[in-house]
Structure 1
Amino acid sequence: MTEAAPDHASAPPAPAHAPCPSCAAQAGAPPQQYVYALGRIEVRFPSLGLEREYQQRERALGHAPGGRLARLCAVLEKNPHLAAQACYLFTVGGSPAYILAPAGNYLRGALFEALAAGEAQDAYAVAVGRLGPMAPPQACGGVLAPVLLVDQLYTFRLDEWSGTLTHTLDAALKDRNIPVDAFTDTARALFHRIVQSTENVGATDVHRALNYLIMQHPGIFLAAAEKRERHVLERIETRLVQGVSARRQVAVILGFTERSTGITERLFTRVDVTEEWPFVSDADGERGPLGLQPWLENSMLGMPL
């Protein structure tokens, strides 16, 4: 009796897991490049034959509720042979950024959820993973993009995101007399300012730190809302923080210029980007402080990135 083949409907087979950093260093291999990206997910069929097969399976599906992407997900879920050979394209600002290769079948539900959410204008996907080689043109219907080996994938809506921020900062907003509507407007504006940059594909330490903060650190939005009336958020800067350890840390600095005097106040927080999942350096294993610290220019603290 032959053993049944495993179900790999969620995505093409993933390459073997990359070696640990210390092992790679000992072998002389370049260090692993990590990605923390925000964007959307699309499906492309690498060949005309696969596209025609999809169209036949879609017709066989008959009437199904939902829009185009909901039907797409329904067809892929019912037809594992299509799901396994489709190209999952991650776009940033509407431009192709990565061809996704999920690390395992555990990402199947998250992948289809991200696809279906693409019909909503305020929906975004977060992909965390490891940068692979450039994919050949035939892998995704002529699209040229590097492969992203995805270890974590999730989707969120801006309304849910801003609601979570407001709930987390409820006590702080009341204490500082910041109206919820004003805070929400400021948070969304800062979110779009960072995410809509076409250069931010989440592959550099700087962009990984920024993308991590807008998803995990409500303190930067609290600072922006608190300064909103009398200040303008003029610049968002980054510095590589020098330390005694070998860990890489990025200081993200918000520069607020007072409208009447033109004097700039700079506040910052530090993000450790050494490994695949960044974290706030000051958190010490616990939830990090909501407030940002004053930034003082010091050659021992950081240098421009």
Structure 2
Amino acid sequence: MSDNTQEETLPNSSPLMSHSVDRTDELQHVASDAMPTTPSNSPRPANIYVYAMGHVEPRFPNLTVEREFAQVVGRYDTEGQTDMETMHAVLSQRENRYLVRQMCWLFSVERLPTYVLIPRDQSDWDLLVDTIRTSNQSDDLEVVVGLRGPLASPERCGGVVVPVVAFDQLYSFQRDDLLAAIPIPEGVDEGDAEQFRRSASELLDRIMQIADNSGSIDEHRALNYLSVRYPAIYATALAAHREEKSLSAVEVRPSRLGEPEVILNVVFSYTHRRTDVTEKYFVRVNVSGEFPFLVSKLQPYYER
């Protein structure tokens, strides 16, 4: 199975004064705490980087912020708007940026609260506002890339205590948009495009449903990176399905080429439905830093 596709499949993300306390300094302090401080010649800190797929939900951290938001909403004409449309419209206004900073932006994986998000760059608050859905779409997805910091205080998110992630990248899109952005492999005509989307959708589900995939350990970061940035894994899934093979395992193993970098072999196993013969394919991913990258393309994997 050849790899003639390119990296980068992630669709582009669609992007009255108050007396309440401004938390900018506090948030900048948390973002600073999430920065790696280990010298370059020292062992890399464990589990400091995050590359996760999930959903962002805006929450009021306390009654004070909720009442302040309600007072601000009263100044606007919101006739015919849903609650989420109103929230997006109000928080999108520059004069209401202080409310955006006061909100809790809770990131959940498989419906479980996992992180509280803050931007490392103060100009990126708009990325959080853009995650507010103006319609109820169950297939909405966000991908967050950043640094994991300390646990949030109970007051930050209405009693929810999860780690803070200071993000550098935050992408918002619908699941169908991601699947539509994956290039159709060479040799596949338009009539078979729907079959390709079904194969890609199944593989994406398998990756997202891997146990405890919070995107905070290297193995999960590598998988999540591949799922949104490397279309060759989806082309391989289609070819396997056409040959009556099922995805039987997804494994992540350390590469012998790793030292001193952290390089992982991501191995996809496909087993023939009638003969039980298994073929394996792997791709190498460097996860040493915050932003994973491809080391070698997808190729057959042979046990040693």
TM-score w.r.t. length of structure 1: 0.83
Residue from 233, 251, 257 that aligns with 2:265: 251
Q: Secondary structure at the match of 2:27?
A: coil
Q: Is the 8 A contact 2:268 2:282 kept in 1?
A: yes
Shift of 1:156: 1.6
Residue 174 (structure 2) pairs with residue 157 (structure 1) = yes
Distance (Å, rounded) in 1 between the aligned partners of 2:41 and 2:87: 40
Residue from 116, 134, 158 that aligns with 2:133: 116
Q: Secondary structure at the match of 2:133?
A: helix
Identity of paired residues, percent? 32
For 1:196, the equivalent position in structure 2 comes to: 209
Residue 45 (structure 2) pairs with residue 39 (structure 1) = no
Residue 199 (structure 2) pairs with residue 181 (structure 1) = no
For 2:284, the equivalent position in structure 1 comes to: 270
Distance (Å, rounded) in 1 between the aligned partners of 2:245 and 2:24: 48
Tell me the alpha carbon deviations over residues 111-150 of structure 1, each in whole angstroms, 9 at most, x when there is no partner: 1111236732221011000010011111110001000011
For 2:233, the equivalent position in structure 1 comes to: 220
Tell me the alpha carbon deviations over residues 168-215 of structure 1, each in whole angstroms, 9 at most, x when there is no partner: 2342434xx981111100101111121134611100111000000010
Structure 2 residues not aligned, in runs of 5+? 1-21
Shift of 1:31: 5.3
Amino acid at match of 1:297: E
Q: Secondary structure at the match of 2:54?
A: strand
Using the TM superposition, name which of 145-154 and 42-51 deviates more.
42-51
Q: Is the 8 A contact 1:93 1:197 kept in 2?
A: no
Q: Is the 8 A contact 2:50 2:144 kept in 1?
A: yes
Distance (Å, rounded) in 2 between the aligned partners of 1:162 and 1:57: 39
Distance (Å, rounded) in 2 between the aligned partners of 1:19 and 1:256: 39
Q: Which has the higher contact order (CA 8 A, sep 6+)?
A: 2
Distance (Å, rounded) in 2 between the aligned partners of 1:118 and 1:250: 39
For 1:295, the equivalent position in structure 2 comes to: 301
Residue 88 (structure 2) pairs with residue 73 (structure 1) = yes
Structure 1 residues not aligned, in runs of 5+? 1-7, 283-288, 299-305
Distance (Å, rounded) in 2 between the aligned partners of 1:152 and 1:117: 22
For 2:76, the equivalent position in structure 1 comes to: 61
Shift of 1:273: 0.5
**What is the CA RMSD across the aligned residues, in angstroms?**
2.6
Q: Is the 8 A contact 1:10 1:111 kept in 2?
A: no
